[in-house]
Amino acid sequence: MSTLVYIEIDSISKRYKKATVESLSDVSFSMNVGQTIGVLGPNGAGKTTLISILCGLIEPTKGSVLYSQENGNPISGVDLKKIIGFVPQEYAFYHELTPVQNMNYFGSLYNLSKDEIKEKTNSLLSILGLAHVANKKINTFSGGMKRKVNLAIGLIHNPSVLFLDEPTVGVDVQSKLSIIAFLKGLKDQGTTIIYTSHHLSEAEDFCDEILLISKGEIVANGPTKKLIEENKSSDLQSLFIKMTEAE
């Protein structure tokens, strides 16, 4: 597997067909491996569009996204797909099947062996507290349990880069804490995480850096504490209000 060290986003813009304004406008930033970036912004700011471009779901209207290895060689196509994990906001799996059946299916698409899938499934479901329902149909699960299954599927192949689109939306406090604790574990293991959320305190606690977007443009970008201090804000929430209102 290719070893990712660097992601460079260079002046990407996105205008959807029939849209009068750009959903993303001239967005540039870069990431080193192991970093955790929180992409924050009000509804409709362009967070999901940015994540969709970064993980190859849609093409930018202009600009480029470059994933590269330590030796500078770019990573793209199937090689790139093998190292990224995507956890969408929707419960993107098969509710009529069990967590194990879902993991078997998605794991097979990464060409993992049966043993690898079994080992990873047991480990993930156990860490996420789903071992006792591993063979129950998901359509009987609570929202929090479904979020965890969604997350587990995105991690079945040990991705180097993980895209999380609102991973804790609509779940209770206990589930949220458990998911964040799990994500912190991943971060400690060196996984690069790009994460969107509306929970600012959660982002402040979890992310190394934040990327604040409003109306498709970056309004703040940098280490969380540094940005709060520079903008003379008490916390991330007041910084968020200040920066998005200014726009």
Partner 1 sequence: MKLMASIKKEILLLFSDKVGLSIMFLMPLLLVFIITIIQDSVYKMVNENKVSLIISNQDKGVEGDKLIQLLAASGLFELHEKNELQSQELKDYLLDENQLTALYIPLNFSEKLEEKATQISTTLAFELGISETEQNVPEVALPNLDFYHDPVLQENYSFSITNVIGSFLNVVENELMIESIYAEVGIEKSPDNFKEKIMGNKVVINRIPAKNDEHMINPNSTQHNVPAWTIFAMFFMVVSLGSNIVKERVNGSFLRLKTMPTNYIHILSAKMMVYMMVAVLQFTLIFSIGMTVFPLIGLPKLVLPSAFAAFIVMMLMCSMSAVSYAMMIGALSKTQEQSNGIGAISIIIFAALGGIWVPTFVMPEYLQIISNFSPMHWCLEGFYILFLKGGSWSQLFPVIGFLFIFIAVCQFTSYTKLKLEKLI
Q: Which of 67, 86, 195, 206 binds partner 1 (CB under 8 A)?
A: 86
Segment lying near partner 1 (by CB under 8 A), choices 64-72, 81-89, 196-204, 229-237: 81-89
Tokens of 9: 């986003």
Q: How would you classify the pairing of strands 62-69 and 209-214?
A: unpaired
Cα separation, 211 vs 129, whole angstroms? 31
Instruction: Note whether 33 binds partner 1 by CB under 8 A.
Output: no
- For the window 37-56, what string marks contact with partner 1 as x by the rule CB under 8 A? ------------------xx
Measuring CA to CA, which residue among 54, 47, 29, 25 is closest to residue 198?
47
198 binds partner 1 (CB under 8 A): no
Which of the 8 DSSP states describes residue 145? H
Asked if 228 and 203 count as a contact pair (C-beta separation under 8 A), the reply is: no
Contact set for partner 1, span 122-141 (CB under 8 A)? 137
Token pair 């362009």: residue: 46
Q: Which helix (H) or strand (E) holds 38?
A: strand 36-40
The yes or no reply on residue 82 touching partner 1 (CB under 8 A) is: yes
Q: Which of 33, 58, 127, 169 is in the footprint of partner 1 by CB under 8 A?
A: 58
Where along the sequence are the contacts to partner 1 (CB under 8 A)?
Answer: 55-58, 78, 81-82, 84, 86, 88-97, 101, 104-106, 108-111, 137, 153-154
